Amino acid sequence: MDLYDNTGNLVQPLTDGDSHRISSSKFPSLLGSKGCDFLLSSTAEAAQVKISDLEGKVIGLYFSANWYPPCRNFNNLLVGVYEQLKSNGCNFEVVFVSSDEDLGAFNGYRESMPWLSIPYSDLETKKALNRQFDVEGIPCLIILQPDGSTLHDGVELIYKYGVEAFPFTKEKLEELQREERMKHESQTLTNLLTNPGRDYLLDPTLTNKVPVDSLIGKTVGLYFSAQWCVPCAKFTPKLISIYHKIKQSLEEKGENEDFEIVFLSYDRDQSAFVSYYCTMPWLALPFGESTIRNLAKYFDVQGIPCLIIIGPDGKTVTKQGRNLINLYQENAYPFTDAKLELLEKEMEEEAKRLPRTDYHAGHRHELTLVSEGNGGGPFICCDCDEQGSGWAYQCLGCGYEVHPRCMRAVDPENTGLIEDR
């Protein structure tokens, strides 16, 4: 697809297919429109900044909106990264491209931003930028380099690497990826969960110290969660039940293996941590430790609840522990590819015995059994609000989907359910 700036000039794509090259001399036409050749500043010294002043800088085009919680969460992170880069003297600037619903929301959101903004009234430029960079969701951070190259996954890079991602060049990212591979190849449970001043974890009494080394050889789940998080409040009781079932099953089988979970708190204060953790039967890292932030960054945790599974050898088995628990419950253990392949085959066999269509007590239309191969795919179950994949019962008319196990079948003739014809 050809891309054009606001003056109608063709923007030539790079050969890798993932970026576009834009001359820095095109910034005035790219970031402004006829009669609007400036950006709004966040400083009191200068209300406006000429777009031409950005030439030679690494620029982050920040598509965001105050009304969307993921944007507000990322905004806090980006502010910290931006201020640290500026204090380090880095030649970096961010330009806010608003998707806010009105001027008041725009101004309120902009108060939290130390960078530049496209005026709210410059609708022409905002629409052109969204079209040109094919922005399909927010938050979105497009990196523009002085040499004209662009990078579209700035949000992911900020979450993953923080200030270390600067200057966002191909060479810098390859260097970070090499370092990351080396870290994962040398990963052990000990170097994940300890630091120079601590070699232990807490148990639910908060008084006993459990040596990290006692977990070596076990399958361990790293559980990122918080009391204030509504999805966490729904998932934690389920995880507690599954945890006990896995432990009991291993004990009954006399298996020479074990399963443990370590809680990594995202709570806002110590009292919330204590209140939440006292409901859990597993171990925890001390509240507020930098190790928690470092591990969230290391595993690229972008939302909670999140369950990372570490194998007996200390290597990462999967980052999708939560989804696997939702799909397979205790049967997901030990979460390996071999076990998941077996479970998928069992699910295929079970699906052969399910009715092709059925009714669900929570929906008025007939539901059809679908899979990823015939109209299905990853979904959020409308009954339990948890993620699913593979087989699902789906309303072909409105997209309502539920896990097969969540189906509560009813007779439409007796319940007043109506099938649209």
pLDDT of residue 389: 67
**Residue 263: CB atoms within 10 Å:** 25
Question: Given this model, what pLDDT does residue 12 score?
Answer: 36
- 215: tokens are 């977990």
| pLDDT for res 159 | 87
Q: Are strands 3-4 and 58-64 parallel, antiparallel or unpaired?
A: unpaired
Written as six digits, the tokens of 279 are 């409901």
Residue 81, CA distances (Å) to 56, 84, 180, 376 in order:
20, 5, 20, 39
Which of 300, 162, 153 lies closest to 224 in space, CA to CA? Answer: 300
- The H or E element spanning position 310 is strand 306-310
Pick from 301, 282, 303: nearest CA to 292? 301
Percentages helix, strand, coil for the chain (3-state, rounded to 5) are 40, 20, 40
**Could you count the other beta carbons within 10 Å of the beta carbon of residue 51?**
21
Q: Which residues contact 212 (CB under 8 A, 6 or more apart)?
A: 189, 190, 193, 194, 199, 200, 201
pLDDT at 13: 35
How far is Cα 219 from Cα 198, in angstroms, rounded to an integer?
21
pLDDT at 16: 39
Residue 237, CA atoms < 13 Å, CB-side half-sphere: 4
- Amino acid identity for residue 21 in this structure: R
Residue 370, token pair as written in the block: 């679908």
pLDDT per residue as tens digits for the range 14-58: 333 344 555 444 555 678 776 777 899 887 555 888 888 888 899
- CA gyration radius, the chain: 25
How many CB atoms neighbour CB 60 within 10 A? Answer: 25
Of all helices (H) and strands (E), which one includes residue 329? none
- Burial of 258: CB neighbours in 10 Å, binned 0-12, 13-18, 19+: middle
d(CA 172, CA 280): 41
Which residues of the chain are under the pLDDT cut of 50? 1-19, 23-25, 415-421
The CA distance from 392 to 376, in Å, is 7
Instruction: Tell me how far apart the alpha carbons of residues 306 and 235 are, in angstroms, rounded to a whole number.
Output: 10
Enter the tokens of residue 395: 């309303």
Q: Report the Cα–Cα distance between both ends of the chain, in Å, rounded.
A: 40
What pLDDT shows up at residue 45? 52
Task: Write the DSSP symbol of residue 80.
Answer: H
pLDDT score at 419: 41
Please state, in angstroms and rounded to a whole number, the distance separating the CA atoms of residues 381 and 402: 4
> Residue 223: which of 297, 153, 283 has the closest Cα?
283
CB 327 within 8 A of CB 320: no
d(CA 223, CA 236): 9
Is this model's pTM higher than 0.85 or not? no
Grouping H, G, I as helix, E, B as strand and the rest as coil, residue 222 is strand
* pLDDT at residue 29, rounded to an integer: 64
